[in-house]
């Protein structure tokens, strides 16, 4: 019994890694929804880079979440819905986004003018996916009063959707979003293992394994997560957090996500990271020199 959380975590990480690499190999041979040019963008150096890492992460992590043992059916469905749903909406924004509106404020301002941007569609869609995933998650401690249950679903839905959006805000330099995901996911995984919680441990391990498998291509500036992969990474970690943490901790995480998201509208994360020696060293770890 004591070893089951470790086995579930190992299985989740391994499945995520193998499935993500297999999906990346398949998509580079035959890109989905178009040809290779459809998924090619220009990175921060002005060099061409493929976004196919994102769909590979979505497919690999989604398959791993669906197959990893030791996860109840409702939690499994929540992870697949949040991860794949956020990833598909992110891919839609990757392919259809014009780039004229940025961030929540930009997309909501455009929506107020009657302009429905791909980013606005993504925001609403990921919010809905987060709420549905939160409603599916099983709750500890037996049935909660109706009001408490509704509040939990609303808060957890916001946490999942907010985590999906926040991860995407870090996908501006090679490997950064995956590194941030690992820094956030590793304590969550360790907490689940220490508490003997098999399902949250497996759910946290899946995106970490998929991200680790794709990290070399990301750091090598051959590929990037894009909205598809970054949104899926954040959403899956959000589901794991909602499944593992108690209400006060979940609310604290939600508050931190909201604060960072609000700060991103006024402050450049890239400039903050570049100005801090520790963060800069972590950010540059494994990357080509600037």
Percent of the chain surpassing pLDDT 90: 79
Q: Are 64 and 16 in contact (CB under 8 A)?
A: yes
Determine the pLDDT at residue 97: 74
Q: pLDDT tens for residues 127-184?
A: 999 999 999 998 765 555 577 788 999 999 999 999 999 999 999 999 999 999 999 9
- Alpha-helix residue ranges (DSSP H) falling in the chain: 4-29, 53-67, 73-96, 103-112, 118-136, 146-169, 176-194, 198-219, 226-244, 247-264, 269-275, 277-284
Q: How confident is the model at residue 286 (pLDDT cuts 50, 70, 90)?
A: very high
Which residues sit opposite 223 in a β-bridge? 50
Q: Which residue has the higher pLDDT, 185 or 112?
A: 185
Q: Over 80: is that where the pLDDT of 251 sits?
A: yes
* Residue among 232, 222, 268 nearest 41 (CA): 222
> pLDDT category, 120, cuts 50, 70, 90?
confident
The rounded distance, in Å, linking the Cα atoms of 193 and 60 is: 23
Q: CA–CA separation, 190 vs 210, rounded Å?
A: 18
Distance between CA 129 and CA 121 in Å, rounded? 12
pLDDT score of 289: 84
Give residue 17's pLDDT: 98
pTM: 0.92
Q: What is the mean pLDDT of residues 238-263?
A: 96
Q: Are 179 and 233 in contact (CB under 8 A)?
A: no
Higher pLDDT: 3 or 246? It is 246
- Give the separation between CA 197 and CA 162, rounded to whole angstroms: 24
Q: What is the pLDDT of residue 1?
A: 40
Q: How many CB atoms lie within 10 A of CB 248?
A: 8
Q: What 3-state DSSP class applies to 144?
A: coil
pLDDT reported for residue 121: 87
Comparing 42-56, 103-117, 223-237, which segment has the lowest mean pLDDT? 103-117
- pLDDT at residue 5 tops 70: yes
Angle, CA of 198, 201 and 205, to the nearest 5°: 140
Helix axes of 176-194 and 146-169: crossing angle, nearest 10 degrees: 140
Q: What is the biggest distance separating any 2 CA atoms in the chain, rounded to whole angstroms?
A: 57
Q: Is the pLDDT of residue 276 over 90?
A: yes
Instruction: Please report which confidence band the pLDDT of residue 111 belongs to, taking 50, 70 and 90 as the band edges.
Output: low
Count the Cβ atoms, other than its own, within 10 Å of residue 269: 18
Contact 178, 211 (CB under 8 A): yes
Residue (of 40, 69, 66, 64) closest to 52 by Cα position: 40
pLDDT of residue 2: 44
> In whole numbers, what is the pLDDT of the chain averaged over residues?
91
Angstrom distance (rounded) from CA 247 to CA 251: 6
């Amino acid at each position: 019994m004591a070893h089951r959380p470790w086995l579930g975590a190992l299985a989740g990480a391994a499945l995520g890694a193998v499935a993500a690499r297999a999906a990346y190999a398949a998509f580079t041979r035959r890109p989905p929804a178009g040809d290779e040019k459809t998924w090619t963008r220009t990175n921060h150096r002005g060099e061409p880079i493929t976004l196919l890492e994102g769909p590979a992460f979505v497919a690999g992590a989604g398959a791993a979440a669906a197959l990893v043992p030791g996860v109840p059916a409702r939690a499994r469905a929540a992870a697949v819905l949040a991860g794949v749903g956020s990833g598909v909406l992110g891919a839609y924004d990757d392919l259809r986004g014009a780039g004229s509106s940025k961030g929540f404020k930009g997309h909501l301002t455009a929506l107020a003018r009657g302009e429905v941007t791909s980013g606005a569609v993504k925001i609403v869609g990921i919010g809905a996916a987060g709420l549905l995933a939160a409603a599916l998650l099983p709750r500890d401690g037996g049935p909660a009063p109706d009001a408490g249950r509704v509040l939990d679903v609303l808060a957890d839905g916001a946490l999942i959707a907010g985590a999906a959006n926040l991860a995407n805000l870090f996908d501006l330099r090679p490997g950064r979003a995956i590194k941030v995901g690992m820094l956030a996911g590793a304590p969550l995984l360790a907490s689940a293992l220490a508490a003997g919680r098999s399902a949250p441990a497996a759910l946290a391990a899946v995106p970490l394994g998929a991200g680790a498998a794709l990290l070399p291509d990301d750091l090598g500036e051959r590929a990037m997560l894009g909205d598809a992969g970054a949104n899926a990474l954040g959403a899956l970690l959000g589901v794991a957090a909602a499944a593992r943490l108690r209400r006060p901790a979940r609310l604290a995480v939600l508050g931190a996500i909201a604060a960072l998201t609000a700060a991103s509208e006024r402050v450049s994360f890239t400039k903050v990271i570049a100005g801090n020696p520790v963060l800069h060293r972590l950010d540059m770890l494994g990357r080509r020199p600037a």
